[in-house]
Amino acid sequence: FIAANPPGVHGTHVYQPDQYGIDPAAVRSEFREYIDHFDLPPE
């Protein structure tokens, strides 16, 4: 199944936070401890 249906076979969609009224800086600030704890890279 996976070989016959690779990622993107039906197209892709890139979501942007501002489309939904989300401020990325505010999210990073709110989750700073979590982001730092798990050493997550910025997206």
Domain that holds residue 34: 1-43
Helix (DSSP H) and strand (DSSP E) numbers for the chain: 2, 0
Indicate the pTM of the whole model: 0.58
**Distance in angstroms (rounded) separating the CA atoms of residues 39 and 21:** 26
pLDDT at 31: 97
Which amino acid, one-letter code, is at 38? F
**What are the start-end ranges of the H helices in 1-43?**
24-30, 32-37
Number of domains in the chain: 1
Instruction: Give tens-digit pLDDT for 5-39.
Output: 898 888 888 899 999 999 999 999 999 999 999 99
The predicted pLDDT at position 34 comes to: 98
